[in-house]
Amino acid sequence: MKYEEYKPVGSVKNKHMLTLMDYSSEEIFEILKCAEELKRKQYAHIEHKYLAGKTLAMIFEKSSTRTRISFEQGIRQLGGYPLFLSSRDIQLGRGEPIRDTVRVMERMNIDGIMIRTFKQSDLDELAEYGHIPVINGLPTTFTPARCLRIFSPYMRSSARSRARNSCSSARDSIWRTRLCSAVRKWAWTSPYARPRGSARAVR
């Protein structure tokens, strides 16, 4: 099914967003269609407080200007409350096991977690032992939120979303892995270029 033909159903099966490889093409289309509608309402100044009374805990072991601002603004525009937590604020994986951290958050009525961490294992453990949604902010393997942001304009602007190529400059294998995991969902090809003088200049 092509993106422009997809009709939103209002829900997805996956509770967590750890990697786009966990989602079907239709589920990704659902998320992007929802984002389009929210953007339309934001620009038209139409109230869309769908997360009123909800709190998103944002755990930052690695700081990021764009990630923090985008998540804070997004949750506020939806009527929710962003709770920023740096590695200095909590004992994630140090003085307190990760499974205990997520259980404490649940008891304190946290409704969701966005975590920007260095280790994929921390993310997976939060999702395994918690009952609230976990969003991947940046472990070392996948960055689903960023991939969705990058590809959203492509899906909206063309009727040939199943036959599209994506070209990028990838300075490291980590981002290339993230990019390729996303484009496989739409059967795109993704050539990438490295700086001149590196081991493999073009592939």
Amino acid 157: pLDDT: 62
Tokens standing for residue 31: 């998320």
List, as one string, the DSSP characters of 152-193: HHHHHH-S-TTS-B--EE-SSHHHHHHHHHHHGGGT-B--EE
pLDDT of residue 203: 38
pLDDT per residue as tens digits for the range 14-44: 789 988 888 888 888 898 899 889 999 999 9
Q: How high is the pLDDT of residue 147?
A: 77
> Other C-beta atoms within 10 Å of 165: how many?
9
pLDDT for residue 199: 52
Helix boundaries (H) for the chain: 25-43, 65-77, 98-107, 120-129, 144-157, 173-183
- Determine, yes or no, domain membership for 106: yes
Domain with 116 in it: 10-136
Q: Residue 16 CB: number of other CB atoms within 10 A?
A: 20
Q: Is residue 111 part of a domain?
A: yes
How long a stretch of residues is the chain?
A: 203
Indicate left, alpha or beta for 188 from its phi (over 0: left) and psi (-120 to 50: alpha). Answer: beta
Task: Give the number of domains in the chain.
Answer: 1
Beta-carbon contacts of residue 141 (< 8 Å; ≥ 6 apart): 19, 120, 174, 177, 178
In a domain, 16, yes or no: yes
Say if pTM beats, i.e. exceeds, 0.75. yes
In this prediction, residue 72 carries a pLDDT of 95
pLDDT band of residue 77 (cuts 50, 70, 90) is very high
pLDDT of residue 41: 95
Which pLDDT does position 185 carry in this prediction? 57
The closest of 47, 190, 64 to 116, measured between CA atoms, is 64
- Domain annotation covers residue 112: yes
Residue 175 within a domain: no
Return d(Cα 93, Cα 114) in angstroms, integer: 16
Q: Sort 107 into a burial class: Cβ within 10 Å, 0-12 / 13-18 / 19+.
A: exposed
Region 188-194: mean pLDDT is 54
Domain of 14, CATH number, reads 3.40.50.1370
- Span 69-80, average pLDDT: 95
- Whether residue 50 has pLDDT greater than 50: yes
In-domain check, residue 17: yes
106 contact partners, CB below 8 Å, separation of at least 6? 130, 131, 132
Residue 98 is assigned to a structural domain of this protein: yes
* pLDDT attached to residue 93: 59
Confidence class for position 78, pLDDT limits 50, 70, 90:
very high
Structure tokens at 162: 């199943």
174: in domain? no
The candidate with the shortest Cα–Cα distance to 38, out of 78, 79, 5, is 78
Per-residue pLDDT tens over the stretch 148-171:
877 777 666 654 444 455 555 545
- Tens digit of pLDDT for each residue in 122-139? 889 999 998 999 999 876
